[in-house]
């Protein structure tokens, strides 16, 4: 039997129930958006995805953290049973601290010339990410979160090129990438966000009334996936998706 083309190969998400919803896992080499309300476990999903790749499969895994420094990330994930410090020491994990990009002032100086600080910060970040990827050659990348990258670009028109640049950077690698973002609106009249159009897959994470957590796959190009919302729980061991249960 011949092997499936690379983009049709499945990559385990590291979350067994989610793999069931995904018909086996993510498509290798794709960029998938994890879109969700605050505190729904977006960072934990990214971590489980990377931890599984690095610890169980020996795949180089890279986390690009935009909203928390490495030490805090390491500590929080250690509480959930994921030892990223060990994986880092083994050369299987790299944390890129991108929190600085938030702190660049609105206007910055290149030599004597004043330039837009937010654009400069973005260009520097994309270059940093590209060169780190070239050196480390990750098979899994998580960027957490897009919302922290675009917060200084308030309108959808301004955001679109920023989101496009970032997604193209991730797409240009052979890694499979997760990108998180904040859900800006909910309900029937929800406004779709640029990253939803641009990513190849979208997963939506929500907390319903009564605290029930649900994950729904809104799109996954080239895959036959379960599009029903499914419940999930967060425990001391991370996220478990209950892929065969209905949400009421």
Ligand X SMILES: Nc1ncnc2c1ncn2[C@@H]1O[C@H](COP(=O)(O)OP(=O)(O)OP(=O)(O)O)[C@@H](O)[C@H]1O
Judged by beta carbon distances under 5 to 8 A according to partner kind, the member of ligand X, Mg ion, none in contact with residue 181 is: none
Q: How many whole angstroms separate alpha carbon 28 and alpha carbon 174?
A: 8
Nearer to Mg ion, 27 or 43 (CB): 43
Check binding of 41 to ligand X (CB under 6 A): yes
- What is the widest separation between alpha-carbon atoms in the chain? 62
**Closest of 49, 127, 54 to residue 94, by C-alpha:** 54
Residue 101 host element (H or E): none
Judged by beta carbon distances under 5 to 8 A according to partner kind, the member of Mg ion, ligand X, none in contact with residue 235 is: ligand X
Three-class SS state of 248: coil
Q: Which residue has the tokens 């200084």?
A: 152
- Return the structure tokens found at 183: 């859900």
Judged by beta carbon distances under 5 to 8 A according to partner kind, the member of ligand X, Mg ion, none in contact with residue 36 is: ligand X
CA angle 94, 82, 76 (to 5 degrees): 85
Nearer to ligand X, 39 or 161 (CB): 39
Check binding of 234 to ligand X (CB under 6 A): yes
Nearer to Mg ion, 144 or 196 (CB): 144
Check binding of 42 to ligand X (CB under 6 A): yes
CB of 72 to ligand X, least distance (A): 11
Query: What number of chain residues touch ligand X (CB under 6 A)?
Result: 11
- Return the structure tokens found at 161: 């090129």
Check binding of 38 to ligand X (CB under 6 A): yes
Stretch that binds Mg ion, among 5-13, 40-48, 81-89, 96-104 (CB under 5 A): 40-48
Check binding of 235 to ligand X (CB under 6 A): yes
Three-class SS state of 179: strand
Check binding of 5 to ligand X (CB under 6 A): no
Q: Which residue has the tokens 């249960």?
A: 245
CB of 144 to Mg ion, least distance (A): 6
2-31: burial string, b at 16+ Cβ within 10 Å, e else: eeeeeeeebbbbbbebbbbbbebbbbbbbb
Stretch that binds ligand X, among 8-16, 41-49, 97-105, 189-197 (CB under 6 A): 41-49
Stretch that binds ligand X, among 150-158, 170-178, 194-202, 230-238 (CB under 6 A): 230-238
Q: How many whole angstroms separate alpha carbon 143 and alpha carbon 125?
A: 12
Binding residues (CB under 5 A) for Mg ion: these are 42-43
Binding residues (CB under 6 A) for ligand X: these are 36, 38-44, 234-236
């Amino acid at each position: 039997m011949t092997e499936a083309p690379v983009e049709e190969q499945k990559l385990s998400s590291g979350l067994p129930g989610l793999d069931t919803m995904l018909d086996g896992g993510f498509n290798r080499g794709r960029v998938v958006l994890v879109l969700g309300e605050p505190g729904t476990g977006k960072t934990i999903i990214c971590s489980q995805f990377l931890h599984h790749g690095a610890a169980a499969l020996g795949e180089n895994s890279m986390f690009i953290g935009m909203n928390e420094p490495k030490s805090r990330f390491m500590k929080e994930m250690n509480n959930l049973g994921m030892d990223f410090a060990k994986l880092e020491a083994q050369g299987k994990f790299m944390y890129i601290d991108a929190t600085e990009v938030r702190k660049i002032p609105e206007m910055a100086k290149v030599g004597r010339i004043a330039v837009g600080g937010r654009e400069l910060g973005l260009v520097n970040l994309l270059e940093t990410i590209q060169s780190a990827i070239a050196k480390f050659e990750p098979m899994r990348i998580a960027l957490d979160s897009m919302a922290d990258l675009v917060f200084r670009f308030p309108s959808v028109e301004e955001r679109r090129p920023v989101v496009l640049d970032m997604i193209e950077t991730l797409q240009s690698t052979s890694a499979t990438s997760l990108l998180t973002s904040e859900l800006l609106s909910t309900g029937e009249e929800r406004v779709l966000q640029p990253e939803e159009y641009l990513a190849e897959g979208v997963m939506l994470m929500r907390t319903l009334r009564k605290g029930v957590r649900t994950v729904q796959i809104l799109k996954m190009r080239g895959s036959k996936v379960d599009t029903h919302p499914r419940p999930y729980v967060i425990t001391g061991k991370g996220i478990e998706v209950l892929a065969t249960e209905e949400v009421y």
